[in-house]
Amino acid sequence: MRKVIGLAILGLLLAGSAKAQDGLFFPGSWQASSTTGTTAAINTTLPAVPTQFTYLCGFSIDSSATAATVGNATVALGTVTLNFNQPTNANNANTPVGQTFRTFTPCLRSNTANTAITVTTAAPGAGGVISLSVWGYNR
């Protein structure tokens, strides 16, 4: 009986800590989005849900082109925009694809409820191939 009570108390403590740590256990409706492109910048969005905040937990950009370049990827959280350095590597046999990979713990929250979060890449340029994936949740 003591073991059962101890496990029940442990479960309640863990449930309370999960609630206190936004984003760690994805307590809302899971969202993911992905897109691809060639020479121009691309974007994808975690959609808004009425009365709920949108949380961005991470994004991944893979980019290559004829010539290497560097630009800024942006994350629009509503009224705030964050910038991230995004390399595009030359697409030859000796160079890996340029990667920008970010995870956020806790996840980044939109400024207000019912606000989408959009991630936009830099343009890779001539001969470009680019992919973008984002993940998060609404709550």
Nearest CA-CA partner of 32 in 59, 53, 52, 62? 59
Is the pLDDT assigned to residue 1 strictly greater than 50?
no
Q: Position 123: which residue type?
A: A
Give the pLDDT confidence score for residue 85 in this predicted structure: 95
Is the pLDDT assigned to residue 58 strictly greater than 70?
yes
Domains in the chain (CATH in brackets) are 29-138 (2.60.120)
State percent of the chain over pLDDT 90.
73
Give the pLDDT confidence score for residue 95 in this predicted structure: 77
Most confident of 55-59, 68-72, 95-99: 55-59
Asked if the peptide bond before residue 106 counts as cis, ω within 30 degrees of 0, the response is: yes
Q: What is the pLDDT of residues 101-122, one digit of tens each?
A: 999 999 999 999 999 999 999 9
Averaged pLDDT for residues 53-80? 95
pLDDT averaged over the chain? 85
